[in-house]
Structure 1
């Protein structure tokens, strides 16, 4: 059974925090005692999340960070450590969807954009987060993959490729750092009530609902709860895992 203060004294670092799953996770960590760093491309976009985290009782640091700039990512991690003294939990949630198209119609620029943000961005964040965790002697990393990381998606080759690769990177990193008390896992959301889902479906979310055996979209808070469990002491024997939270879509 979880405790309302299970993250007291912990520092959580959350990317892609302006809305949806990232915002829900930031609020949930704060409500359970964590100090929270929230990141996205612009500080203005983070204001609503920042206020929501404060309402939840959290000490929050909002950082504008462009994932395409390794220098900005490194500086962001250092800023968090300077402010809070350490980095206990990293939730690498930043990502984008592709423009739906069959593979032969995908422009190279679009392919590079998706892989650059979803895969390279996750790698760059992990590189600097884990550097700090190795230094301090422990930590937890949770990466956002997707149900598309374990199945094909018509029209979504670039997105699926990036999310499959995140799982491979997660498993490999878990093996690298298991003996250093650093756990690395992935959460695989299905179709969730987020702005990304609205964009991907063109506002027609019913077609996404129709894919779900449970007959509804997931809620960001349901994904956040899975992330919190993986980050908590109750998830302490879990590393290298890809935990699917998709309402049966991938079955």
Structure 2
């Protein structure tokens, strides 16, 4: 364990698994006390952090519900006395298919989680981030927030919203001492929302093979690990990124630069 985030408190949404869990582990390894916030049970992530010598607690939180968000932030401050870092990672896929076949309920739920969720978390956390004197907001968007993608209208729209929300928040809060940046993951080897797990072994293997094939077309021809995204989040939370705000940082193997063509 090193100490780039020693003495800081980080609230990470969507941290029961995937990228969020990797970010929570990474920040704890750098000395932060971490609040694992998720609709799923965060005990496993907390256990991993504690086993490595870090400090963490888990709180249940649906980021689309204002009361639950307020309660999660309050729990963080009650447990650790302050809040220095907010990571908005919680997100859902928003269905698959063209816009004219997407049901309204799926669209509204995707907006509620992926876009309203970060707003609610910022709204609840900002007074504490301002008070800390070293506040950080790190939004986990997606490469799909800056490019179009097949059969993903809700996901693309909401992640695009997160990208520009990041820029807007940086304008308002950076003069007050809170830096706001976004990470755009590309093909990351996680099972978002348990999609692959629901397919059974053969279906999951086929789904991952499709992702591997797409990732192979990138300049860096593979999927990333969640830890490779977490490393960037830790950097953005630390003083090493002291002149960065409003930055939109792709962690995508070059996929938004170009794909290699046969």
Gaps of 5+ in 2: 258-262
Distance, in Å, in 2 between the alignment partners of 1:198 and 1:138 is 35
Instruction: Verify the 8 A CA contact 2:6 2:30 in the aligned structure 1.
Output: yes
Distance 1:197 1:249, change over 3 A: farther
1:197 Cα shift? 8.0
Total equivalences in the alignment? 247
Residue 19 of structure 2 is matched in structure 1 by: 21
Computed over aligned residues only, the root mean square deviation of the Cα atoms, in angstroms, reads 1.6
Q: Which residue of 1 aligns with 2:227?
A: 221
Deviations 1:111-138 (A, max 9, x none): 0011110001111011111122123433
Over residues 55-87 of structure 1, what are the superposed CA-to-partner deviations in whole Å (9 max), with x where a residue is unaligned? 121111110112222011112111111111111
Paired with 2:194 and 2:64, the residues of 1 have a C-alpha distance of: 25
Q: Name the SS of the counterpart of 1:230 in structure 2.
A: helix
**Is 1:117 equivalent to 2:113 in the alignment?**
yes
Q: Is the Cα contact below 8 Å between 1:138 and 1:180 reproduced in 2?
A: no
Aligned to 2:260: none
Match of 1:193 in 2: 189
Q: Hey, what's the Cα distance between the residues in 1 that align with 2:194 and 2:224?
A: 13
What's the TM-score, normalizing by structure 1? Answer: 0.94
Which has the larger displacement, 205-214 or 29-38? Answer: 205-214
| CA distance in 2: counterparts of 1:138 and 1:235, whole angstroms | 12
TM value normalised by structure 2: 0.90
Against the structure 1 CA distance between its residues 197 and 190, is the aligned structure 2 distance closer, same or farther, given a 3 Å change threshold?
A: farther
**Unaligned runs of at least 5 residues, structure 1:** none
Residue in 2 that maps onto 1:36: 34
- The aligned runs of 1:121-160 (5 Å cut-off) are 121-160=117-156
- The answer on whether the counterparts of 1:142 and 1:227 sit within 8 Å (CA) in structure 2 is yes
Matched residues in 1 for 2:25 and 2:243: separation? 25
CA contact (8 A) 2:19 2:226 kept: yes
Kindly indicate whether the alpha-carbon contact (under 8 Å) linking 1:80 and 1:86 is maintained by their aligned counterparts in 2.
Answer: yes
Of 81, 85, 90, the match for 2:86: 90
Counterpart of 1:177? 173
Offset of residue 198 of structure 1: 6.7
Deviation digits for residues 170-217 of structure 1 (CA, Å, limit 9, x no counterpart): 100000011111000000000111111872795221222222212211
SS at match of 1:27: helix
Q: Secondary structure at the match of 1:61?
A: strand
